Amino acid sequence: MAPAFTLVELLVVFAVIIVLVGAVLVAGPALIDRGKIKNTETLLAQVRDVIEQFKAEQTSNPTLLRAQPQPGAGTLGMLYYKDRYGTYPPDELEVFTAVGIPGSAGTGNRSLALGKSHVELGNPATDPRNWSAMKFYTVGNAQPQLEHRDLAAMVLTIEMYGVESKSALDALPESNFRAGPVDSLNGKPIQFLDRSPTANRVYNEETDLAVRYIVDAWGVPLSYFTTRNHSSNPQKIADMNFLGSSNHPQWHEACTEMVRLAGGEPIVMSWGPDGKEQATREAIDPNAGGDPKAVLIDDWMDGPRDRRRIDHPLNLDNLYSVSGLKEKLERGLSEE
């Protein structure tokens, strides 16, 4: 008969099991995050290839018609896509609207029209429909906002005007796509490119294009930054500069600086393992005990220009499509 285990031996076995279980509980989340980081880094490289492919396809220079001048800015003539956006997809929906940037003050202001398309994003603060997807908070807003217009603009541009790049976009893993929110009453998309002749802002699946987002391994939409004002004509640059951005008062300047550090390439970015934390009002809004610098642009623009850098803890685990950019953003302009 085999000898029985002694009490001491059993206690040793139990202790080893407890240590191993504890190690798994402690290290498990870190291992999962490492896997998600690797997955997201691969995704960022794939998206970077898609936008580079789009750039290679651009041989024309479509006309951008100024729908209506911004008050006090005078009358603009005709602009051209490459003067404003170069050959990469834009990071603003100006290019898709003839009636003003959705969400901006008033209608008709600061809009560049390409054809008669219009992007309908809706307003979660005033619209009673289901706004459960893609919410985030901005400083001073008690209501959740729903935008990610930078990414929507990039995806819509490739879907509308890309060929090989559109095929490459569609080939991204299905798990990395999320549809925009739908109307809880009729199940139709709330966010869409309205391509009807009259831009009636009512979704029609035969003509319209629903907005979809590329999300990282944590399910958070990517962010996309590119520079603007590519014209060599000083007057055209002056005319376009006043357009600014409705995303953020300093968005244009910050994006231009960061893209320059990226060697002129657009930046595709994941907010990393804590991205969902950054999307909360508690993280961002000082009225709720948060810090506005949790937003990348506010973090970068804090302080004098020669001291700009990324240093907020929630931004230190961001992932970028451009190799070495993370280190450059953390070192900042003062160490160029």
Q: In what order do the strands lie in the sheet with 319-320?
A: 223-225, 267-270, 319-320
Summarised one tens digit per residue, pLDDT across range 291-327 is 888 888 888 988 788 889 999 999 999 999 999 999 9
Above 60 in pLDDT, residue 328?
yes
Task: Grade residue 104 by pLDDT with cuts at 50, 70 and 90.
Answer: very low
Report the length, in residues, of the chain: 336
**CA distances to 45, 146, 178, 276, 291 from 134, in Å:** 23, 6, 9, 10, 20
What distance in Å separates the CA atoms of residue 1 and residue 108, rounded to the nearest whole number? 92
Amino acid at 179: A
What distance in Å separates the CA atoms of residue 143 and residue 125, rounded to the nearest whole number? 6
Burial class (CB in 10 A: 0-12, 13-18, 19+), 15: exposed
User: In this predicted structure, what is the pLDDT of residue 29?
Assistant: 59
Summarised one tens digit per residue, pLDDT across range 209-268 is 888 999 999 998 999 998 876 666 655 555 555 445 545 557 778 888 899 999 989 999
Task: Grade residue 101 by pLDDT with cuts at 50, 70 and 90.
Answer: very low
**CA distances to 12, 29, 56, 320 from 21, in Å:** 14, 13, 52, 34
What distance in Å separates the CA atoms of residue 251 and residue 90, rounded to the nearest whole number? 13
Amino acid at 259: V
Place of tokens 């003062």: 334
Of the candidates 155, 159, 160, 149, the one whose C-alpha atom is nearest the C-alpha of residue 92 is 149
User: In this predicted structure, what is the pLDDT of residue 281?
Assistant: 75
User: In this predicted structure, what is the pLDDT of residue 305?
Assistant: 82
**CA distances to 183, 189, 190 from 186, in Å:** 6, 9, 10
Contact, 92 vs 153, CB < 8 A? yes
**CA distances to 77, 84, 151 from 239, in Å:** 9, 10, 25
**Greater pLDDT, 58 or 257:** 257
Put residue 84 in one of left, alpha, beta given phi > 0 → left and psi -120 to 50 → alpha.
Answer: alpha
Between 138-142, 263-267, 326-330, the lowest mean confidence (pLDDT) is in 138-142
User: In this predicted structure, what is the pLDDT of residue 233?
Assistant: 62
What distance in Å separates the CA atoms of residue 59 and residue 57, rounded to the nearest whole number? 6
What distance in Å separates the CA atoms of residue 190 and residue 120, rounded to the nearest whole number? 7
What distance in Å separates the CA atoms of residue 300 and residue 312, rounded to the nearest whole number? 9
Mean pLDDT of 126-137: 46
User: In this predicted structure, what is the pLDDT of residue 289?
Assistant: 83
Q: At what angle do helices 7-57 and 149-161 cross, to 10 degrees?
A: 50
